[in-house]
Structure 1
């Protein structure tokens, strides 16, 4: 032990480590700056997050159903007939969903024109007269573009049947409407009484008049009230639509109740009968467009989300249907919490922007046209003949990100979209074909451990110190050698 201590005391510290020099001071400063720089780089790498990506079989935590949130605007589809349907390859076929879907009337510029459109309640098959009385087939007044405004403002109540001669439902309504008009005219002579007036409009002959009142399905029974039918800034009459039974007795009773409602609203309520007129009449759409928003739940199998014009008691002219639309929002999966949404914004570089690929895009039924308001006006005005469906093919894949914050799981559905125009003989629709992938992408955030960070910091300090020592030793010995050479020359 004594020998070891003696050997240590005999150790001699190199002179280059004990002698101060200007070069040594400069080298020390450079070494210190190098340590600080490398430490900063290591700290930045420690605080940064790396990701690893893998593809696995879909093990979704949200079950066997997928939620679809949407917000579409159809400038030329009336809320009166707009229907949201879903179907899939397993045989599911749900029509006219209303529980989670809301509709708002809009004008051709996509601006809202009123309150939420209330869909009529589900009813049984509408009743018609079984027997046709040929003698009563001419009882309703024929309206034209020239005389419509005159009579609509002349009588307190004007009921109009907008029809098309080729329509099956218009043909079934015709005898009942004509007979009811004849009965009402005999009871309430327009010249003597003047409280109510019944008429009809042939939409194949008066296309402009029907378009002005946003008639998209035949027959459409509209009720105009004097004093409330003033044209608004959007160019329409305030009026109601009748959705009740179409037999003669029901029509006559409805007209009687309308007449009874003229003195006061209280009398109207007192005279309503079992026909439940309030359920049969609802405000008609004040514009020809509709904004549809809400959500649906579908099975995770190939299927379709369809927006179309649908009615069990109306006919549609396919050549006049225009399914041009704007996709304001379309997303899949559960709605994210605010915390998950903040993480999603941070994780956008990992998952991309394909989760909202269609958002804000416009689709019209003519390849040569762009998507602006002027072209919408041309389409709605009937200057372009459209008989086509808009088809969207969506391939959907789920992406899960396991974050480093308490192992939080962020779920997002990404999709690719391809759109096209499909011509057919059927009623045009806007169809979203859904193809869900059985695989999912799993992205895991990874961060270096603190022990790895400390080890690298120690390695930086030791490495820089060693390199600086070697450099100082070489520099010091070089200077000494040069001094010796100079001394040798002098002697």
Structure 2
């Protein structure tokens, strides 16, 4: 035998001469049906092969020790002054950071809780005169006006406040509390500055005067002027301490150094020119024009009447802790009773904002996880204090979901979901808006799975061979039955 003949002897697919085969109508029908079935099954198998499959598992959080958790927030406080609003962070490891400013922005709110002012920046801490108590008394006596047995600064009450406002074109008022250490430090300086100003602008001049209000005695008067921290120095021009700036209003306050020289220098810039008898109307116009020019240059802070919008983010360790917002100042004391921490949560989320490309990838892999992470569950919820000294606390349980696309673990997407439980309670200390977070030690890992190519090829061959074989057996069976029927019919004819 030749080599070719030997190879032909192992042919699995031996051919039958065409003239020895017989085509039948049933065979043609089954062939068409077999082709339709094979094509349909092949298309479905190919679609299944191209469909993205994901596998979900629960594992221990694989975050590194140095990984930090980002907390994004946007909260509106209708009754908290931006001057005192402070964002603080603490955790169970002993971390305690006060008055974060680098990644936090504050904006004044109008009555309709819409941002009306520009960015409010934290003011530098004022300097105090370094005088001992004994020197304070000597300082007071040295600057006391001769023949005047009363204190240099006017002690104002609810009954005399409006009268003094109408009497003096410029009135600087120190709202203080005797129990406040910062008020006690300012008190002798305030008296000293008042004495110096009285020497330069005596009683008969009447263009400027310094006053003071004890807020522990006249608390209603202080609350009507939205005094939240002590001491607060307000500037009243003909009875008003509000400056209008476009769509928003500010209390005009002194925020410079708390020394005699600084206060006197500041006050002298506020004094309008003296009115002469020769041209009183012209002089009055000049006074108003000068006051308007000074108003544009004077230092201002946000008062208690407008609210404050606090937004930004903080980075924290992945351990239980809290972010709380409250009134805080190194140079003021506060009356807890007047602090109202009612707030509206505009936004609260965890983690970095994902890019457009990663968001598109997430929509392809797990749109539900993306939707849950972006749900912002506290959005638009209001928490109102209906009594005094109320702290609002929100307990947030945070879970990390990591999605890893196939073939690129470094292109993973980290999403954070959280549940929340909120409650409020009365406290003896400073009321807070507190967001307590508790990151879960477990994480959800979603990995993309795709079938191997050889699995698809194997299945496709099984479909084609299986359908062909089944249809061949069916055709043979039909052919044998029909042949048997014909033989029976022929036997009957004989």
| Fold equivalence (TM over 0.5) | yes
Q: Residue 343 of structure 1 aligns with which residue?
A: 361
The aligned residue for residue 267 of structure 2 is: 255
Structure 2 CA distance for partners of 1:129 and 1:7, relative to 1, 3 Å: closer
Q: 1:404 aligns with which of 403, 406, 422?
A: 406
Say if 2:241 and 2:252, in contact at 8 Å, map to a contact too.
Answer: no
Q: What's 1:376 paired with? A: none
Contact 2:255 2:301 in 1 (8 A): no
Partner of 2:22: 18
Report whether the alignment pairs 1:459 with 2:451. no
SS where residue 60 of structure 1 aligns?
coil
**Tell me, what secondary structure is at the counterpart of 2:347?**
strand
What is residue 174 of structure 2 aligned with on the other side? 161
Structure-2 residue corresponding to 1:222 = 234
Aligned partners of 1:361 and 1:177: how far apart in 2? 45
Larger Rg: 2
The answer to whether residue 381 in structure 2 is matched with residue 362 in structure 1 is yes
Specify every segment of 5 or more residues in structure 1 that has no aligned partner in the other structure, as ranges. Answer: 269-277, 367-383
Is the CA contact (8 Å cut-off) linking 2:83 and 2:302 kept in structure 1? yes
Query: Does the CA-based 8 Å contact 1:85-1:93 persist in structure 2?
Result: yes
Give TM-score scaled by structure 1 length.
0.77
Q: Does structure 1 retain, via aligned residues, the 8 Å contact 2:80–2:308?
A: yes
Contact 1:330-1:356 at 8 Å conserved across structures: no
Residues 156-179 of structure 1, C-alpha deviation per residue, up to 9 Å, x if partnerless? 644333345665544554454455
How big is each residue's C-alpha offset from its partner over 1:356-391, in whole Å with a ceiling of 9 and x where there is no partner? 54441424145xxxxxxxxxxxxxxxxx42322111
- 3-state SS in 2 of match to 1:282: coil
Structure 2 match to 1:430:
433
Relative to 1, partners in 2 of residues 1:486 and 1:220: Cα closer, same or farther, differing over 3 Å? Answer: farther
Q: Does 1:142 align with 2:130?
A: no
Q: Is the 8 A contact 1:106 1:288 kept in 2?
A: yes
Q: 1:71 touches 1:292 (CA, 8 Å); kept in 2?
A: yes
**Does 1:184 find its partner at 2:202?**
no
CA distance in 2, matches of 1:483, 1:146: 128
**What SS is found at the alignment partner of 1:284?**
coil
Residues 1:392 and 2:399 aligned together: no
- Listed as ranges, the matches of 1:30-69 within 5 Å are 30-60=33-63, 63-69=66-72
- Residues 290 and 486 from structure 1, CA distance in 2 versus in 1: closer, same or farther, beyond 3 angstroms? farther
Alpha carbons 2:234, 2:251 under 8 Å: kept: yes
2:252 to 218, 233, 240: 240
Q: TM-score, normalised by structure 2?
A: 0.77
Are the counterparts in 1 of residues 153 and 212 from structure 2 also a CA contact under 8 Å?
no
Structure 1 position 465, deviation (Å): 1.7
The 1:285–1:128 alpha-carbon spacing in structure 2 relative to 1, beyond 3 Å, is farther
Q: 1:413: Cα distance to partner?
A: 2.8
Q: In the alignment, is the contact (CA less than 8 A) between 1:86 and 1:305 conserved in 2? A: yes
Determine if contact 1:136/1:182 at 8 Å carries over to the other structure.
no
Count residues in correspondence.
459
Q: CA deviation at 1:49?
A: 1.8
Residue range with higher mean Cα deviation, 315-324 or 281-290: 281-290
2:481 aligned to which of 475, 478, 483: 478
Change (3 A) 1:123 1:35: farther
The answer for unaligned runs of 5 or more in structure 2 is 142-148, 274-286
Kindly state the Cα deviation for residue 309 of structure 1 after the two structures are TM-superposed: 0.5
- Relative to 1, partners in 2 of residues 1:238 and 1:436: Cα closer, same or farther, differing over 3 Å? closer
Q: Tell me: CA distance 1:316–1:193, structure 2 relative to 1, closer, same or farther (3 Å).
A: closer
The 1-side partners of 2:89 and 2:9 are apart by: 94
Given the alignment, which residue of 95, 101, 126 partners 2:98? 95
1:33-71: CA deviations, max 9, x gaps? 322322222122111222223344433268343332222
SS at match of 2:174: strand
Where do residues 259-278 of structure 1 align in structure 2 (5 Å cutoff)?
259=271
**2:345 alignment partner, one of 292, 316, 327:** 327
The separation in 1 between residues aligned to 2:222 and 2:33, in whole angstroms, is 87
Q: Is the 8 A contact 2:127 2:259 kept in 1?
A: no
For 1:79 and 1:304, the matched residues in 2 are separated by 21
Task: Give the superposition deviation at 1:446.
Answer: 0.9
Q: Does 1:74 align with 2:85?
A: no
Aligned-residue CA RMSD (Å): 4.2
Cα distance, 1:307 vs structure 2: 0.9
How far apart, in 2, do the equivalents of 1:209 and 1:16 lie? Answer: 117
Question: Which secondary structure state, in structure 1, belongs to the residue aligned with residue 340 of structure 2?
Answer: coil
Residue 126 to residue 181, structure 1, CA distance change in 2 (3 Å):
closer
The match for 2:372 among 343, 353, 357 is: 353
Moved more, 223-232 or 401-410: 223-232
Q: Using the TM superposition, give the Cα deviation of residue 253 of structure 1 relative to its aligned residue in structure 2, in angstroms.
A: 3.0
What does 1:117-128 correspond to in 2, within 5 Å? 117-123=120-126
Q: Which moved more, 1:355-364 or 1:255-264?
A: 255-264
Partner of 2:278: none
Distance 1:390 1:7 in 2: 86
- Structure 1 residues 36 and 209: alpha-carbon distance in aligned structure 2, compared to 1, 3 A threshold: farther
Label 1:478 to 1:247 Cα distance change in 2 as closer, same or farther (>3 A): same
